[in-house]
Amino acid sequence: MACRFMYICCLLWLPVAASADTTITINLCQSDEGDYPWTLPDRPGLNNLLIDRAAHRTGVVVRFHPMPWSRCLLKTSQGSMDGIVAASYKPERLRIGVYPLRNGQPDAERRLMRNRYLLYRRKGDAGVQWNGQRLQIDGLVGVQTGYSIASTLRQHGAKISQTERLPIPLLDALIEGDLRAITLTAGEGERLLADMPPYGQAVEALPLPLAEKDFYLVFSHRFQKKYPVLTEHLWQVLSKENQSSDWKAASASFR
């Protein structure tokens, strides 16, 4: 009986133990668009640093592959990428990869991070209003391609233009009057307005967020099927790291 118990335990922990002998490399794709401070085009962002910490504690190696968001989703669904850095939850994305779930719903305690979407307008444009429940706007709202906030805006009756991958063309179209408003994630929008005076002088963010969403480290079905225990272990370690005092201090001082 004792031998049988030990055999079962060895089988359960085989994927994690194997990583100590032959190091597993996990290839993760992420958007190449940049989303300060989470992912950056020229250096590791907070998402990369946090995942690296969890990988180090788990004994695996992670390689990050920036690419267009739609390609990242496709490659993960095909299994040529092992996972996605920072995907918000949509039921239809379950065919693409595996989220950390609890009772059939995404487990917020094991999220990678939480992000806010803000609505941006030309300064002084009183025709664009958002009070946290009701959206008032007559015109197009620009949203980056593939961003799930578009569905939230449609629920509030907005007309969406979703043709640009990057935030700068959206800001240009807003200033030129082709768009009445745009949405950007809070950190990225604040950075662009602060670092680029022409935008900061012409554009303002409405104070209340359109939405706050949790984003997850999502693994491909192929990777999760091959390493089910390792997948769960990484999510657990990621959660512990995310809640640790030293990580909170490090992320608060990140610039």
State pLDDT tens for residues 83-112.
999 999 999 999 999 999 999 999 999 999
CB 207 within 8 A of CB 168: no
State how far the Cα of 254 lies from the Cα of 187, in Å rounded to an integer: 12
Of the candidates 211, 213, 215, 194, the residue with the CA atom closest to the CA atom of residue 203: 194
Q: At residue 175, does pLDDT exceed 50?
A: yes
Q: At residue 4, does pLDDT exceed 70?
A: no
Distance of CA 213 to the CA centre of its chain: 9
Mean pLDDT, residues 18-42 taken together: 85
Half-sphere exposure of 53 (CA within 13 A, CB side): 22
Mean pLDDT of the chain: 91
Is there a cis peptide before residue 68, judged by omega within 30 degrees of 0? Answer: no
CB 183 within 8 A of CB 141: yes
> What is residue 1's predicted lDDT score, i.e. its pLDDT?
43
State how far the Cα of 155 lies from the Cα of 113, in Å rounded to an integer: 24
Q: For 40-68, what is each residue's pLDDT tens digit?
A: 988 999 999 999 999 999 999 999 999 99
> What is residue 42's predicted lDDT score, i.e. its pLDDT?
87
> What is residue 177's predicted lDDT score, i.e. its pLDDT?
97
107-110 contacts, C-beta under 8 A, 24 or more apart: 107/235, 108/214, 109/239, 110/216, 110/235, 110/236, 110/238, 110/239
Q: At residue 5, does pLDDT exceed 50?
A: no
Local structure of 113: helix, strand or coil: strand
Q: What percent of the chain has pLDDT over 70?
A: 92
Q: At residue 11, does pLDDT exceed 80?
A: no
Confidence of residue 171 (pLDDT cuts 50, 70, 90): very high
Mean pLDDT, residues 109-118 taken together: 96
> What is residue 37's predicted lDDT score, i.e. its pLDDT?
94
Distance (Å) of CA 205 to CA 75, 194, 201: 34, 12, 12
Q: What percent of the chain has pLDDT over 90?
A: 86
> What is residue 21's predicted lDDT score, i.e. its pLDDT?
53
- In order of their start, the domains of the chain are 8-112+213-252 (3.40.190.10), 116-212 (3.40.190.10)
Look up the pTM and report it: 0.81
In which element (H, E) is residue 174 found?
helix 167-176
